[in-house]
């Protein structure tokens, strides 16, 4: 059989990794796919660099349209990123009848509905294993391995940059800003780390997982997105004393009246496996009704780990290219006409437990005032810690862990606590998940 022809759009770190792994494991990949997979064209603005990577047997062009318009190309791999030109090229490739492999979580989380609809109409595949948790085959697990299950919730460490920063803050007792600079120096964080540290990258990935887990459209605009920029080293220390680690989690959960979709720093009991995922590693915990909890761990970024996911998609497409479109795996796991309109809940409606750090004047009655406000709001206290004021200091921190309650009750209680004359700063609230 003739090789399947691939056009690669963007040959940065992941593109180069894809080229290298495909070449190195060519024979084994051919035996699995049933035919040879050949990168025939590459588009990159830096054509000289691209040529140095791929050699003279591959056509290198500056204008990616030359690839998406070429009738000899069967599959395009989109590794440009972002929602601008990448969206235009993906839509054009689909219109031209090409299958698409992409690592672009931002594009899928925001324009997935439009992209999957167009692909469905044109009968082509859009595969995106590399978009969530890099080399971990979590899309495959959710879309195929767990199809027997009613998924109950997913909680993932799906951003390596922030997990590295949190690990360093905990290990070395350093503040966020100091660790971020070090992470940038070591190449763990981008020069512009905004999407990572503000939780946006994790929210893109959580949005994609929520769609596949629950058969709902991708709805990034409904996700609650909170990063790690406001986390204090002291919160990590207090959490540790109470038996918890703080991780940036992407959480999506099925509850009675809808679906929760949220990214925020989260206390997790230290004895959970996922709480011990350190450095730039990723992990996703999935709770299904039949299988129970399953945990997927590995590298969420990097040239070859991400290439591993990109090539797995190439192999899937190669195997299924001649199958009837209706016999292929649905883009979002559920058949397109079986999607549900279960709403994603506003944050005020979510239910979880809370860590509250309250900085107070060390005066008689302050603790009683706070516990009264919590009791009036039907918020039950699970644990409490009061730091002794340092010598000569007149204020101190009170740490409270609550039992499960609705976010709106906590919003009201925090407003009342902050109105007390003895409370000297804004209350720090970090959500807590037992993940049991
Ligand atoms: N920037 C991401 C991370 C990797 O730090 O995990 C690509 O999604």
Q: Does some domain include residue 267?
A: yes
Range of the domain at 20: 4-135+303-337
326 and 396 belong to one structural domain: no
331 and 361 belong to one structural domain: no
Choice from 301, 303, 304, 308 to test ligand 1 binding pocket (greatest atom count within 8 A of CB): 301
* SS3 (DSSP) at 40: strand
409 and 332 belong to one structural domain: no
102 and 18 belong to one structural domain: yes
Atom of ligand 1 nearest to the CA of 306: 7
| pLDDT tens-digit readout, 301-343 | 999 999 999 999 999 999 998 889 889 999 999 999 999 999 9
120 and 218 belong to one structural domain: no
Catalytic residue among 98, 105, 205, 222: 205
Q: For residue 392, is pLDDT > 90? A: no
| pLDDT tens-digit readout, 172-218 | 999 999 999 999 998 888 889 999 999 999 999 999 999 999 999 99
pLDDT given at position 186: 86
Q: Given 3-state DSSP classes, what are the helix, strand and coil percentages for the chain, each rounded to the nearest 5?
A: 40, 25, 35
| pLDDT tens-digit readout, 274-298 | 999 999 999 999 999 999 999 999 9
pLDDT given at position 389: 80
Residue 243: left (phi > 0), alpha (psi -120 to 50), or beta? Answer: left
Query: Cβ(163) to ligand 1 under 6 A?
Result: no
Tokens at 60, concatenated:
């290198």
327 and 353 belong to one structural domain: no
Query: Cβ(104) to ligand 1 under 6 A?
Result: no
Q: What are phi and psi of 126, to 5 degrees?
A: -125, 115
Average of pLDDT values for 377-391? 91
**Longest pairwise C-alpha distance within the chain:** 83
> Residue 145 sits in a domain of what CATH number?
3.30.360.10
Q: Does some domain include residue 290?
A: yes
Q: Whose CA is closest to 240, among 295, 166, 157, 155?
A: 166
**CA–CA distance from 120 to each of 18, 117, 181, 330 (Å)?**
26, 5, 45, 9
Q: Does some domain include residue 176?
A: yes
Per-residue buried b or exposed e for 291-328, using 16+ beta carbons within 10 Å of the residue's own CB = eebeebbbbbbbbbbbbbbbbbbbbbbbebbeeeeeeb
Residue 262 CA to residue 224 CA, distance in Å, equals: 4
Query: Cβ(301) to ligand 1 under 6 A?
Result: yes
51 and 119 belong to one structural domain: yes
174 and 144 belong to one structural domain: yes
**CA–CA distance from 62 to each of 50, 57, 84, 86, 431 (Å)?**
10, 16, 17, 14, 47
Q: Does some domain include residue 342?
A: no
Q: Does some domain include residue 344?
A: no
> Residue 388 sits in a domain of what CATH number?
3.30.70.260
Residue 232 CA to residue 162 CA, distance in Å, equals: 14
Residue 146 CA to residue 180 CA, distance in Å, equals: 37
CA of 39 to the centre of ligand 1 (A): 25
Percent of the chain with pLDDT over 90: 93
- Residue 299 CA, chain-centre distance (Å), reads 13
Q: For residue 390, is pLDDT > 90? A: no
Which residue has a Cα nearest atom 7 of ligand 1? Answer: 301
Q: Does some domain include residue 70?
A: yes
Residue 417 CA to residue 374 CA, distance in Å, equals: 9
The mean predicted confidence, pLDDT, of the chain is: 96
292 and 149 belong to one structural domain: yes
117 and 253 belong to one structural domain: no
Q: Does some domain include residue 343?
A: no
Average of pLDDT values for 398-419? 98
pLDDT given at position 37: 98
Q: Of 234, 265, 297, at which residue does a domain stop? A: 297
147 and 252 belong to one structural domain: yes
Residue in the structure block whose two tokens are 């450095």: 279
- In the sheet with 37-43, reading across from the earlier edge strand, the strands are 59-61, 37-43, 4-9, 75-78, 99-102, 126-127
Contact 247, 406 (CB under 8 A): no
Q: Does some domain include residue 215?
A: yes
Query: Cβ(306) to ligand 1 under 6 A?
Result: no
22 and 101 belong to one structural domain: yes
Q: Whose CA is closest to 145, among 249, 316, 284, 288?
A: 288
Q: For residue 349, is pLDDT > 90? A: yes
205 is catalytic: yes
Average of pLDDT values for 114-130? 97
CA of 35 to the centre of ligand 1 (A): 32
> Residue 130 sits in a domain of what CATH number?
3.40.50.720
* Beta strand pairing call for 75-78 and 4-9: parallel
Enumerate residues 6+ apart whose C-beta is below 8 A from 309: 103, 129, 130, 134, 135, 136, 137
Residue in the structure block whose two tokens are 């605009």: 221
Query: Cβ(193) to ligand 1 under 6 A?
Result: no
Residue 122: how many other CB atoms lie within 10 Å: 15
pLDDT given at position 51: 98
Choice from 134, 228, 283 to test ligand 1 binding pocket (greatest atom count within 8 A of CB): 134
Total tally of structural domains belonging to the chain: 3
| pLDDT tens-digit readout, 43-71 | 999 999 999 999 999 999 999 999 999 99
């Amino acid at each position: 059989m003739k090789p399947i022809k691939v056009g690669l759009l963007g040959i940065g770190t992941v593109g180069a990794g894809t080229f290298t792994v495909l070449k190195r494991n060519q024979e084994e990949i051919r035996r699995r796919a049933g035919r040879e997979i050949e990168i025939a064209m590459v588009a990159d603005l830096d054509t000289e660099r691209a040529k140095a990577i791929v050699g003279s047997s591959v056509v290198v062009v500056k204008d990616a349209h030359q690839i998406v318009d070429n009738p000899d190309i069967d599959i395009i791999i989109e590794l440009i990123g972002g929602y601008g030109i990448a969206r235009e090229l993906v839509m054009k490739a689909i219109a031209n009848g090409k299958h698409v492999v992409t690592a672009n979580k931002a594009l899928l989380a925001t324009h997935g509905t439009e992209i999957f609809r167009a692909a469905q109409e044109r009968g082509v595949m859009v595969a995106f294993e590399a978009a969530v948790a890099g080399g971990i085959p979590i899309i495959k697990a959710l879309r195929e391995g767990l199809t027997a299950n009613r998924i109950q919730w997913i909680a993932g460490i799906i951003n390596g940059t922030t997990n590295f920063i949190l690990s360093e803050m905990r290990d070395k007792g350093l503040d966020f800003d100091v660790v971020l600079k070090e992470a940038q120096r070591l190449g763990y964080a981008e020069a512009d780390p905004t999407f990572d540290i503000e939780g946006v990258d994790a929210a893109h990935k959580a949005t994609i997982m929520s769609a596949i887990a629950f058969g709902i459209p991708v709805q990034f605009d409904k996700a609650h997105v909170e990063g790690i920029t406001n986390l204090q080293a002291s919160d990590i220390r207090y959490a540790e004393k109470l038996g918890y680690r703080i991780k940036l989690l992407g959480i999506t959960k099925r509850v009675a009246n809808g679906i929760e979709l949220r990214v925020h720093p989260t206390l997790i009991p230290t004895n959970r496996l996922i709480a011990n995922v350190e450095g730039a590693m990723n992990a996703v915990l999935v709770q299904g009704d039949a299988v129970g909890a399953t945990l997927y761990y590995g590298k969420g970024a990097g040239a070859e780990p991400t290439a591993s996911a990109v090539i797995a998609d190439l192999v899937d497409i190669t195997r299924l290219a001649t199958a009837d479109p209706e016999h292929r795996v649905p883009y979002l796991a559920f058949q397109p006409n079986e999607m549900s309109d279960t709403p994603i809940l506003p944050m005020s409606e979510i239910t979880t437990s809370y860590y509250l750090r309250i900085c107070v004047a060390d005066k008689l009655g302050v603790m009683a005032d706070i516990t009264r406000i919590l009791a009036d709001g039907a918020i039950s206290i699970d644990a409490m810690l009061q730091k002794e004021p340092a010598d000569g200091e007149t204020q101190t921190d009170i740490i409270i862990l609550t039992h499960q309650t609705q976010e709106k009750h906590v919003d009201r209680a925090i407003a009342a606590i902050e109105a007390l004359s003895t409370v000297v700063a804004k209350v720090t609230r970090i959500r807590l998940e037992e993940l049991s």
